[in-house]
Amino acid sequence: MSETDTQAESEQDAEAADTLRILLIEDNPGDARLIQEMLRDTEELAQRVSPGEATGKTPDISRENRLEDGLETAHSEPTDIVLLDLNLPDSEGLSTLETVHEETGETPIVVLTGVRDQQVGVEAIQRGAQDFLVKDEVTSELLVRTIHHAIERARQERERRQQREQLEALNRLNRIGHDITHAVITTETRAELEQQVCDRLADSDAYRFAWIGGVNPGSDRVVPKAAAGVEDGYLDEIDITANENEESGQGPAGTAIRTGQVQVMNDVQTASEFEPWREQARARDYRSSAAIPIVHEDLVYGVLNVYSSSPRAFEGPETAVLARIGDVIAHAITAIERKDALVSDAVVELEFRVEEMAEELVALSATESCTIEFEQLVSGDEALLAYGSARGISQEAFTDTIDETEGIGDVRFFSVRRDELEFELVAPAAVSLFETIATHGGRVASATIADGEFRFVVELPRGRDTRQMIELIRTQRDDVTYLAQRTTERSKRSDSGSSSVLEEELTDKQRAALETAFFAGYFDWPRGSTGEEIADRLGIAPATFNQHLRTAERKFFTSIFGE
């Protein structure tokens, strides 16, 4: 279609939207002709109904003889008002009005009566008609005024009803928000809180179903964590992600997670964004939905999804209330996670496999069935120092392979036994990856080369956004594969006091000096490494190493003995 054709079609649509459409259901040809003649040449009615928008336009009148045909027209064409004769070939009396009123909903109806039917006209108004006209008394002016007033009254009634419904919905949501706030105070665990939120929303007659989903760190898939209401297998049938490049990520839930904003679908039957889930929603009578992000600062906990059997159930001020509910849930989860962190040593571990790092050592682990473990990694200015052990391989074979391995420098051995080697490696190629992890609050807890694979484990404080860390690592290296997430107990290397001073009191350089000295055997007797050797490994002058080490020792021992 050309641009000219498209513009012409848009203009026609706009013109049709401005036209006043009248449906006349009248079987008497003389009465019908009279009313049509009164309306055909008048522009006053269109001007009254749409001031300034219908200049020079006359009403569009459709006429039907039978009730059945009139209802079919009302359903197939836009109708602003119905002029209705009560006595038709296929229906008589007030039952005609009741049928039309039931089928056309909010469309205003003006009843046409005979001279002796005025009482029937009054009863018609009591049963839903906007007005009535006695056919023998109708004039053009009276007809125009009656239609105008009927349309205006219907519009005002519709607006008042919508305002009442919005106020009721707002009050209902505020009550739900209050109950959720109370649940926040009384619940002990995150799972319990999320379930209570869903239960409270589903208990309301206004909402058919509610569920909370979290993002699977490895796949971006939104997985259900709690649900209540009419579900009927819905969550098993649908697939939702937070990936904007996939169709399953462009719906309300995925968009809410990415943007941090409430996403409302006024009618899931027609919204293009809801296409992947439309059939499943229709089968369960979900007509509108809201997706509320559960986010605290930069930490995304998930998304709350609420469904209603009515279209446009989440409009106006309700969106702001829903956003507040999301904030309350997010703050509550944050508080629960922090409380758990204070009373528990649990941390989150993320396990990864890397394909193109230390490939010669990886191949050695496959051919010789040996295991190489890196138990401590210390970042220097120009290289990563790795302290670990190797089992099932000779010192000579291990050294030769290190010499051939790109990205790994010198190796020093602290202990050489028949079944195990303890060593120090310099790995300049790995510095950027491990610095990225440390910069964003993580720590490489361990790394292992075995069975032809190089795997490493990143440790995060409980409650941190694991998905963000996974994406950071993937951005740093495209050969990294995320494998698993688990919650485990924090390393018992130190008590809370020593852990606190390491993390809060020491600078990065002071901590690197202290850790390297410890793992390189500087404090052993006889010493496994001299100060000059450690300074060389860290890429600093011996005097600088000595200054960092003494300062770190003083801070560390002050934290232990200072009280």
Can you give the pLDDT of all 563 residues of the chain as single tens digits?
Answer: 444 444 444 444 444 456 788 899 999 998 889 888 888 766 666 666 655 554 445 678 889 999 999 899 988 888 889 999 988 999 988 888 889 888 888 899 998 887 677 788 788 888 888 888 888 888 888 888 888 888 888 888 888 887 776 777 667 767 777 777 776 677 778 888 899 889 988 888 788 999 999 988 767 889 999 999 999 999 999 999 988 888 999 999 999 999 999 999 999 988 989 999 999 999 999 999 999 999 887 778 899 999 999 888 887 777 888 888 888 888 888 888 777 665 556 788 899 999 988 899 999 999 988 999 998 888 766 677 888 899 999 999 999 999 888 888 788 888 888 889 999 888 876 777 877 887 777 888 889 999 999 999 998 877 677 877 888 888 888 899 888 888 877 654 444 445 555 666 777 777 777 877 787 777 777 777 787 887 777 778 888 878 888 887 887 777 766 65
Tell me how far the alpha carbon of residue 394 is from its chain's centroid.
53
| Structure-token match 């055997």, residue found | 521
- What pLDDT, on a 0 to 100 scale, did the predictor assign at position 211? 96
What residue spans in the chain does CATH classification 1.10.10 cover?
Answer: 492-562
Using CB atoms within 10 Å of the CB of residue 55, give its burial: 0 to 12 exposed, 13 to 18 middle, 19+ buried.
Answer: exposed
Type of residue found at 346:
A
- What pLDDT, on a 0 to 100 scale, did the predictor assign at position 115? 66
CB 392 within 8 Å of CB 369: yes
CB 223 within 8 Å of CB 238: no
Q: Which of 363, 528, 369, 354 is nearest to 458 (CA)?
A: 354
Using CB atoms within 10 Å of the CB of residue 495, give its burial: 0 to 12 exposed, 13 to 18 middle, 19+ buried.
Answer: exposed
Using CB atoms within 10 Å of the CB of residue 487, give its burial: 0 to 12 exposed, 13 to 18 middle, 19+ buried.
Answer: exposed
How many other C-beta atoms are found inside a 10 Å radius of the C-beta of residue 106?
A: 10
What residue spans in the chain does CATH classification 3.30.450.40 cover?
Answer: 187-342
What residue spans in the chain does CATH classification 3.40.50.2300 cover?
Answer: 17-157
Q: Which of 117, 145, 155, 159 is nearest to 48 (CA)?
A: 145
Q: Which fold would CATH assign to domain 17-157? A: Rossmann fold (3.40.50)
Helices 94-104 and 67-76: crossing angle, nearest 10°?
20
Compute the distance between CA of residue 412 and CA of residue 529 in angstroms, rounded to an integer: 10
- What pLDDT, on a 0 to 100 scale, did the predictor assign at position 382? 65
Q: Does domain 187-342 have CATH number 3.30.1130.10?
A: no
Compute the distance between CA of residue 252 and CA of residue 303 in angstroms, rounded to an integer: 10
How many other C-beta atoms are found inside a 10 Å radius of the C-beta of residue 451?
A: 12
Q: Each residue of 452-508: pLDDT tens digit? A: 999 999 988 776 778 778 888 888 888 998 888 888 776 544 444 455 556 667 777
Q: Which fold would CATH assign to domain 492-562? A: Arc Repressor Mutant, subunit A (1.10.10)
